[in-house]
Structure 1
Amino acid sequence: MKKKPTAAAKKNSAPWGARLRGALAGMLPRWPGRDLAGALAGGGSRDDLPVRLSNRTYAGTRNVAVRELGFDQPLLWVVVALLAWGLVMVYSASIALPDNPRFSSYAHTHFVLRHGISMVIGVVAAMVAFQFPMRSWEKMAPWLFAVALVLLVIVLIPFIGRGVNGARRWISLGIMNFQPSELAKLAVLLYAASYMVRKMEVKERFFHAVAPMAVAVGVVGMLLLAEPDMGAFMVIVVIAMGILFLGGVNARMFFLMALVVVAAFALMVMTSDFRRQRVFAYLDPWSVEHALGKGYQLSHSLIAFGRGEIFGVGLGGSVEKLHWLPEAHTDFLLAVIGEEFGLLGVVVLIALFLWLTRRIMHIGRQAIALDQVFSGLVAQGVGLWMGFQAFINIGVNLGALPTKGLTLPLMSYGGSAILLNLVALSIVLRVDYENRQMMKGGRS
């Protein structure tokens, strides 16, 4: 009778390659998510999948759950980078202001501390705004628009609205001065997006679709021009028109409306003496008539860029911020960046804003593709807001556009601007979060 081979005999008769793998398997630990010892031993689980490379077949590894990001982290980090860079530049541009008799009672860190407080408040508000689903923002849009209108009226009341340099645009809240026009940008954006969703069935009938929205923007415009704040009005008009266009209104009639809007702005410039002087100063800022008048800011901004050359004079080395360039920490922060970081710094900054705008628009298109029209229009409206305002500020600083009081988003000094910029971007992140939830098969 033939004896059955023992376990030891079987082991000794196994191929030497199998014995080697078995020995290595005994010495190697089991790593989380990947059973390397089992793979070397030739064993596997029912989750293992074979992988074929060329003419060889290798044992697969166990399926590992991939951690999915809840929202667009590159977008978040670009925003953080712009905020951090802006904080440093506000400090650099404002550190010498207390040497001016006008700011003699302020500490050298006065503006950067207030800017930092505004950023903290903005981050907290953004975190709260992110918690609201987009259907809640759609319901709140008309009410938020009504609140913005009320605040635009209140800011015009004497002893309530705070005036600076002949403009009454701020309401003092103690820790910060709130600018209702910044809230109006977000309110009009949300209202226009919800309006287009409600008017989808008549979007090809131009006057039925556009006339009510035009009246709403016209009312906001009259209140803004009474402050006056033509820059904010321009941004709001671009946001509203962009959302109408992206929402699908009749293209030929839209471009006709765009021509009417351009003609209206041209008429406002022609009928306003100080706006007309700004245009003439922009055309020739170096003339004797304008160099010490309306062209003073622009001429010193250009000097700052000239001093910066390719690589800049170094952080903190700007001369123009030493009481030569007015509002260096607000509207003309880019000129200080150009002087201290040179052409290279300006190119990097422009690239960041281009990427930011493009990424926001992509998130909006993705939402529309998922049949979330309101969310998509809101995201694209924020992209138009950030992109257009950055374009205007950069153009003004470089002398490519007439001087206009618009801050550089996320960077210039200004409490309410930083606050509303962060809230708007948190809404975009919420849109992206809901997009990802829907693509995974969940509910928004």
Structure 2
Amino acid sequence: MSAPAEMFSRLASFKSPRKQLTSWFDLDDLDPVLTVAFISLLTIGVIMVASSSISVADRNYSNPFYYLQRQLVFVAIGIFAALTVFKIRLVQWEKSGMALLLFALFLLVLVLIPGVGKTVNGSTRWLPLGVFNLQVSELVKLFLVIYVAGYLVRHGDAVRSSLWGFLKPMLMVGLAGLLLLIEPDFGATVVIMGTVLGMTFLAGARFVQFMSFVMIFASAAMLLVVTSPYRMQRLTSFANPWADPFDSGFQLTQSLIAIGTGGWFGTGLGGSVQKLFYLPESHTDFLFAVLSEELGFVGVSFVVLLYAALFFRSLKIAAQAERAGNYFAAYLAYGIGIWLSMQAVINMGVNVGLLPTKGLTLPLMSYGGSSLIVCCAAIGLLMRIHYETNGVSRQASKGGARKATRTAGRIKKKPATGVRAGGALL
């Protein structure tokens, strides 16, 4: 073949970036609301990390864009993780539930070994991996949700009818929570326990058993608070931060000043004063306060609406999976929705002074590789659930129910018991 003919042949076979992307998966198979909320939160997060971290990055690294550059790398890795997870069939995740649980427990033990885990501000939560530190609790959240979703499918009848069936996953989650408390990471423990309790309630656990465990967990949490001096200090400073505004209440008072300064429309992007070494962790745990100061009530409302869209879309995706008979996908979607929204609500509550400081990031927005990448992977799972559910429904509507079953990987048999009233899930 001559050189011109070969050149024209290559040009004819060239695919645009959009075509290359759609050859990997069909963009029409992505949930539009979930995708828009996901990309919007990532974008706003990058902008706010850049704005809130300039001063501290310049002081610590002589590079005002240090945190921005790293966050952009984390976002790229996170999107790649979401797309990779999207390509894996749900049946593979369901089969791997126990292995993921054991791996999560292994990581929780590994991080506590002296000389292995990295200690920051008195907490040993990170495994140093060279280029960045892996926060083990972030992976544990995702792995436990996958494990519990599979357990509820396999032992749903036992969860609904016997105390042991209900307690078994709680014991496994309790073991993980105990290891997290040793680090200590009380915030992650609260999120994990709340998520698992929500999943078991939707699975049809008896109300008496459910409320009994809630009361036990709440009592244990209060006991941990009153017996731990630093947790007790957080509680008292949360109750009245202005009693000690320059010590125990300093972070919360600075956060409240930032939020109050923002007003309706904010001081403008980059106009925050509190980020200038007044508000600690302004680009991580207290990013929401800087966002409130710079974008005001209007900007905050938009971000809250994005999280609400993500949560309610998760519920809808779960309900669609339940109607299609894929109960693992449904429980998984419910778990991810509860986890991400609960963590977002806690972070916002801490920033506005409604909850004691927990050390939790704002999902998909705060600076940090572990949280961002794992949250992106969770969104990828939601997209996969939507994809498989829609694939079943679409092919079944064309008379290809048998082919749809084969394409999705499996469809679970419907459990024998009834639907939880108001819960849409068995």
TM over 0.5: yes
- Indicate conservation of the 8 Å contact 1:118/1:176, yes or no: no
The separation in 2 between residues aligned to 1:193 and 1:220, in whole angstroms, is: 16
1:254 aligns with 2:210: yes
Deviation at 1:408, TM superposition (A): 0.3
The one-letter code sitting in structure 2 at the alignment partner of 1:191 is Y
Count the aligned residue pairs: 373
Counterpart among 89, 101, 105 of residue 145 in structure 1 = 101
CA shift digits 1:175-199 (9 cap, x unpaired): 2211110010001101111111111
Q: What amino acid is aligned across from residue 378 of structure 2 in structure 1?
A: A
Please point out which of 125, 129, 135 is paired with 1:179. 135
Structure 1 residue identity aligned to 2:257: I
2:124 corresponds to 1:168: yes
Structure 2 Cα separation of the partners of residues 163 and 413 of structure 1: 18
Q: Is the 8 A contact 2:340 2:363 kept in 1?
A: yes
SS at match of 1:163: strand
SS in 1 for 2:118: strand
Where is the helix percentage greater, Structure 1 or Structure 2?
Answer: 2
Secondary structure at 1:402 match in 2: coil
- Confirm whether residue 346 of structure 1 aligns to residue 346 of structure 2: no
2:39 maps to 1:91: no
Deviations for 1:351-400, whole angstroms, at most 9, x for unmatched residues? 11111101111101111121111100000100001110000000000111
2:33 counterpart residue number: 74
Contact kept, 8 Å, 1:83 with 1:411, in 2: the verdict is yes
User: 2:42, 2:52 → 1: CA distance?
Assistant: 15
Between 1:385-394 and 1:153-162, the stretch displaced more is 153-162
- Superposed, 1:25-424 pairs within 5 Å as 69-100=28-59, 103=60, 105-287=61-243, 290-424=244-378
Q: Which residue of 1 aligns with 2:15?
A: none
The structural deviation recorded for 1:158 is 2.2
Uncovered stretches (5+) of structure 2, i.e. residues with no partner: 1-25, 397-403, 409-426
Q: Distance in 2 between matches of 1:355 and 1:98?
A: 33
* TM norm structure 1: 0.82
Between the aligned partners of 1:131 and 1:191, the Cα distance in structure 2 is 19
Structure 1, unmatched stretches of 5+, are 1-66
Change over 3 Å in CA distance of 1:129–1:209 after alignment to 2: same
AA at the equivalent of 2:210 = F
Q: Judge conservation of contact 1:148–1:183 (CA < 8 Å) in 2.
A: yes
- The answer to whether the Cα contact below 8 Å between 1:209 and 1:249 also exists between their aligned partners in 2 is no
How far apart, in 1, do the equivalents of 2:82 and 2:160 lie?
Answer: 36
State the 4+ residue runs in structure 1 displaced beyond 4 angstroms: none
Distance 2:284 2:117 in 1: 20
Q: Report if the CA contact (8 A) 2:57-2:67 is conserved.
A: no
Specify the SS of the correspondent of 2:126.
strand
Give RMSD over aligned pairs. Answer: 1.3
Q: Deviations over 1:267-321 (max 9, x none)?
A: 111111111111110111111xx21222111000000011111110000000000
1:73-106 CA distance string (max 9 Å, x none): 2211110010010001001010000454xx1x34
Q: 1 or 2 for the larger relative contact order (CA 8 Å, sep ≥6)?
A: 2
Distance 1:267 1:247 in 2: 29
Task: Report the 3-state secondary structure (helix = DSSP H, G, I; strand = E; otherwise coil) of the residue aligned with 1:157.
Answer: coil
Matched with 1:9 is none
SS in 2 for 1:93: helix
Quote the Cα distance in structure 1 between the aligned partners of 2:77 and 2:57.
25
- Measure, in 2, the Cα distance between the counterparts of 1:253 and 1:98: 50
Alpha-carbon contact 1:206-1:253 (below 8 Å) kept = no
Radius of gyration: which is bigger? 1
Amino acid at match of 2:241: P
| Other structure's SS at 1:168 match | strand
Percent identity for Structure 1 against Structure 2? 40
| Counterpart amino acid of residue 259 in structure 1 | M
Rounded Cα–Cα distance in structure 2 between residues aligned with 1:114 and 1:82 = 17
Checking the alignment, whether the CA contact within 8 Å between 1:71 and 1:436 is kept in structure 2 is no
Output the CA distance in 1 between the equivalents of 2:288 and 2:341. 15
The 2-side partners of 1:208 and 1:328 are apart by 45
2: distance between equivalents of 1:264 and 1:365?
33
Cα gap change, 1:304/1:132 in structure 2, threshold over 3 Å: closer, same or farther?
A: same
> Is the 2:152–2:203 Cα contact (8 Å) retained in structure 1?
yes
Question: How many angstroms apart in 2 are the aligned matches of 1:244 and 1:273?
Answer: 33
| SS class of match (1:169) | strand
Secondary structure at the aligned position of 1:248 is classed as: coil
Output the CA distance in 1 between the equivalents of 2:248 and 2:319: 42
TM-score (norm 2): 0.86
2:119 partner SS: strand
Displacement of 1:173: 1.5
Please say if residues 297 and 325 of structure 1, whose CA atoms lie closer than 8 Å, have aligned partners that are also in contact: yes
